[in-house]
Structure 1
Amino acid sequence: MSDEIVFYTNPMSRGRIARWMLEEVGQPYRTEILGFDGAMKSDDYKLVNPMGKVPTIVHGKAVVTECAAICAYLADAFPSAGLAPDTTARADYYRWMFFAAGPIESAVTNRALGFEVPAGRERMAGYGTFGDVMNTLEMALRSNPYIAGEKFTAADVYVGSQVGWGLQFGSIEKRPIFEQYFGRLALREAYQRAAEKDDAAVAMLQKAG
Structure 2
Amino acid sequence: MIEYIKGEVAELTPALAIIEAAGVGYALNISLYTYSALQSKKEAKLYVYEAIREDAHLLYGFYNKKEREMFELLITVSGVGANTARMMLSSMSVTELCNAISTGNSKLVQSIKGIGKMTAQRIIVDLKDKIVALGIAEEIPAGGSIAAPVNNAVRDEAVAALTMLGFAPAPTQKVVVAILQQEPSLPVEQVVKLALKQIK
Highest relative contact order (Cα 8 Å, sep 6+), 1 or 2? 1
Query: Which structure has the highest helix share of the two?
Result: 1
TM-score scaled by length of structure 1: 0.28
Q: What's the TM-score once normalised by structure 2's chain length?
A: 0.29
More strand by share: 2
